[in-house]
Amino acid sequence: MLNINNNASNVKRSILVKIARAQLSGNLAEYVDKIPQEIIPRGSKPIRCCIFHDREIVRQRVIARLGHSLHDYDEEKPLSEYATEALERKKPSWPMLTVLQEACNACVKTHYMVTNACQACLARPCMMNCGRKAISIQNGRAKIDEELCVNCGLCMQNCPYHAIIRIPVPCEEACPVGAIQKNEDGKEVIDYDKCIFCGSCMRECPFGAMMDKSQLVDVIKHIMAGKNVVALYAPAIASQFRANPGQLEGALLQCGFTGVKEVAIGADITADKEAAEFTERMERGDKLMTTSCCSAYVRAVNIHVPLLKPCVSDTKSPMHYTAELAKKEDPDCVTVFIGPCLAKRREGMDDDLVDYVLSVEEMGAFFMAKEIDVAKAESVPSDVTPTATGRNFAISGGVAEAVRVRLKNPEILKPTVINGLSKDGMKQLANFGKIQSGELPYTETTPNLVEVMACEGGCISGPSVITNPKVAAVMLKKYVEAGEK
């Protein structure tokens, strides 16, 4: 997994902060064309061929951060026009993920390469174990014939010096459903009909070529217009900003939100309903039930594992139930979910109760633009305190545990967790689909509740997080414990 501390993330964050500050100052359209020159000033050491190419890539990043797709990019159109269109936009547009072709490195296809560490040893296990006879010794080093090689990896596995390495295409490697492939120019394109919007490609591309289309401009616009804008923050968010209970609420109110609701309250509703649904399903003889709070997983089932559709819980996500609470209080309020997830943007587009979805990255930029330190924000008490299990929805295993503690007969529960929708995770899903259809046997040890998290570790490892997941797990634990006192 690409570490969150990298230059591509820094550039994207810097652009967001500049856009937010300009919008809050009321001069976004007048200022936005200056951003590429500010990010890549004259005299900078080029990342690509020259600073002018670097500036062009930044220009396209700005367009994505303004909430536009790049499939119909117009290089003659000034950024001021894109900014004006963003400010006049009524609602976000599909899709929520776009590709910067100029930023794409057009990586060569995945292959194996012999490094200088090769010793051309007597044993030659790389040659001996290659069934395709694709390896020979030339000039004192093993050489792979790429026309014969089938990328099985046996040479790498058998080399005692670890002299053979695998060169992947990071975005293709990360995509669990094969939704990314090269076009005729060698650049990567996304098949949105296959994509589950897990955000893995966006997180793993070292060139930052996969970008989410920001909705921050839209949210700030409504706040500046004086509307009742309610922030709905996911349990994972407090751990991203190292906040104590109440501090994140205070910081969000400082940003101009008129109301704040912790989505862990919705998680408690989801857990209550899923526990009741699980009991009902088991009593009627169902083989298994899967959780439904991860929208990337639900989309993965609908598109790629249809055999498992009958097993997906009918219960709505915590985001939905929290938005429902906000709309009951004021049907005209603007609801803004804040989370670490790209897939929630897709879910939000399908949910009439959710108006906008911000990533934690966007919210972090908003705090920076407003010069708000969440850790120093005044704590604002909440009317409703969620349970610890509601807040623990953010970690793998948390949803299954929340269901367990709500069951009248917890002994009937046989839970398991698919911790991350990697390619292996998708295989596990396929196997559960076969169990449901009868292609694979159902035994006494087969799990009857399957929790699925698209991100390994849970929501604290989402594609838009700004804190190391290991640190976030510790901070979430402290946050939960502080709320229990």
Secondary-structure breakdown of the chain: helix, strand, coil percentages, each rounded to the nearest 5: 45, 15, 40
Are the C-beta atoms of residues 460 and 239 closer than 8 Å to each other? yes
**Amino acid code (one letter) for 451:** E
Predicted local distance difference test score (pLDDT) of residue 107: 87
pLDDT tens-digit map of 180-236: 999 988 899 999 999 999 999 999 999 999 999 999 999 999 999 999 999 999 989
Check: CB of residue 348 under 8 Å from CB of residue 453.
no
Number of structural domains the chain divides into: 3
* C-alpha distances out from residue 339 to 238, 377, 463, Å: 10, 20, 10
Residue with tokens 């194996």: 112
Mean pLDDT of 173-181: 95
Show the domain range for 52.
7-106+172-213
- Confirm whether 57 is domain-assigned: yes
Identity of the amino acid at 374: V
Q: Are residues 311 and 191 in the same domain?
A: no
Crossing angle of helices 360-369 and 216-224, rounded to 10°: 50
pTM: 0.92
Q: 278 with 197, same domain? A: no
Cα–Cα nearest to 393, from 340, 353, 470: 340
Half-sphere exposure at residue 368, Cβ-oriented, CA atoms within 13 angstroms: 17
Say if residue 420 is in the same domain as residue 345: yes
Tell whether 33 is covered by a domain.
yes
Residue identified by tokens 């009868």 is 438
Please say if the pLDDT value at position 136 is more than 80.
Answer: yes
pLDDT tens-place string over residues 244-285: 889 999 999 999 999 999 999 999 999 999 999 999 999 999
- Residues of the chain with pLDDT > 90, as a percent, come to 89
* 338 SS3 class: strand
Both 76 and 150 in one domain: the answer is no
- Following CA atoms 243, 246, 249, 254 in sequence, which dihedral angle do they give, to the nearest 10 degrees? -90
Residue 479 has pLDDT above 90, yes or no: no
Does one domain contain both 184 and 315? Answer: no
Is residue 163 located within the same domain as residue 184?
Answer: no
Give the model confidence (pLDDT) of 296-339 as tens digits: 999 999 999 999 999 999 999 999 999 999 999 999 999 999 99
Asked, for residue 15, whether it belongs to a domain, the answer is yes
Residues 25 and 127 in one domain: no
pLDDT at 108 over 80: yes
